[in-house]
Structure formats: C-alpha cells, structure tokens
Amino acid sequence: MRGNKPHNSVLGLIDWVKGLDDVSIKYVLELGVFSGESTILFAAAFPGVVAVDLWDDIQNMDVITATLDDMREAEQVFRSRMKERKNIIQMRCETVTAIRLLGHAAGLIYVDATHAFSTVKQELNEIKIARLGHRSQYVTAGHDWRHPGVKRAARQHFRREPEFVGTDGSWGYHIQPRPTNGYSDEQPKQSV
C-alpha cells in the first residue's frame, strides 16, 4: 500500500509527532489497520500500538473494495507482522468502540478506516468526547488527506487546516486542550 521511505510513508508523520515536545505517547490508537503496514512503523517508533480493525467484509467502505478473502489474508499478514514486535495489541472491533474504550489516553490517534465523510466525522466527534476532562496534549491524525470525505470532515470538525500533511497523504492536528472549560479542546493554543 505504501513504501517505508520517509517521503512516501507514515514516517513523515512520526517524525513530526516526535518533534512535538509536549505530546507524550504511551500508545498509538490506530483505527483501520488492514495488513499492518503503518502499524509496524508506529510500533517501531512508540512504546505501544492498539491496532483496531474488523478484518471483515465491510460494505460501506468507499475507498477500498476488499473481499472477505482479501481481509482474511490481510489479517494473516498483520498477525505475522505482529510477531516482529511485542508492543502491538490487536483489537477486533468497530472504530467507535475502540475510541470510547481507549481514546482518552492515546497520545496519537490515527484515523484510517472508511474515509467516508459521515464516519470520519463521527470518529472525530467520538475522539473529542473521549478526551473530555483530560488535559494531556495529543495528536489526531489520519491518512488520505486527498480524499474529499476525509478532508471535509476534518476541516469541519477542527475549523482549521492540519499542522501536518505528508506526501503520503498522512495528516495531523496537534490538540492542546484548554485548561478550564473542558469541552473546547479542538482549538490551537493562542499565543499571548
């Protein structure tokens, strides 16, 4: 799906995230894993990755058309990649379920499941809800910035452009929760 050189892979995003001194990452929550190409790169760069996918025949995907056999094969490749690293947890569930369970403490959340406007919008909203009352800085990122559904959902949700867009289509927003009012966590910190 993508190469592993910085200019055409998720490595550009990883470098950008690592340069953010105020974001501490205990684990990455990756939403949409397929065969784990990006997972293995996250696992090499950060202490842990929770890799979320249904590995099932998903009807509403508008970018990837994969058969059940394709998905089974992708999962096998993912599982063999997992053996290379001991810091990956496989989580077979809906993206929204994973966000509700683990979104509050992930330092980096990587959105790369359906790419449809409505589902990306829902995922971003669930992330925002999961972070309510949590003060730590984090990154919401994803793949396929060129995809209109992704771009529209992110622009509408964050009301600004991403701080990072890589040549592989990865994008990232550095989220700095405001100290007191809890819910307004999607705006950048204002300089004084």
Ligand X SMILES: C[S@@+](CC[C@H](N)C(=O)[O-])C[C@H]1O[C@@H](n2cnc3c(N)ncnc32)[C@H](O)[C@@H]1O
> 99: burial class by Cβ within 10 Å (0-12, 13-18, 19+)?
buried
Distances (CA, A) of 7 to 39, 112, 168, 186: 17, 19, 7, 28
Nearer to ligand X, 23 or 64 (CB): 64
Pairwise CA distance, residues 34 & 112, whole Å:
10
Torsion from C-alpha of 153, 41, 37, 28, nearest 10 degrees: -50
Nearer to ligand X, 93 or 132 (CB): 93
- Dump the DSSP string for 24-78: --S-EEEE--TT-HHHHHHHHHSS-EEEEE--S--TT-SS----HHHHHHHHHHH
Nearer to ligand X, 92 or 135 (CB): 92
Query: By C-alpha distance, which of 115, 188, 142, 150 is closest to 13?
Result: 142
Pairwise CA distance, residues 43 & 62, whole Å:
27
**Least separation in angstroms between CB 108 and ligand X:** 13
Report which residue's Cβ sits closest to ligand X.
Answer: 32
**Least separation in angstroms between CB 138 and ligand X:** 18
**Least separation in angstroms between CB 14 and ligand X:** 12
**Least separation in angstroms between CB 3 and ligand X:** 11
**Least separation in angstroms between CB 104 and ligand X:** 19
Query: By C-alpha distance, which of 164, 165, 159, 155 is closest to 188?
Result: 159
Nearer to ligand X, 95 or 140 (CB): 95
Nearer to ligand X, 142 or 177 (CB): 142
**Least separation in angstroms between CB 7 and ligand X:** 16
Q: Which residues bind ligand X (CB under 6 A)?
A: 1, 32-34, 37-38, 52-55, 58, 61, 64, 94-95, 112-114, 143
Nearer to ligand X, 22 or 62 (CB): 62
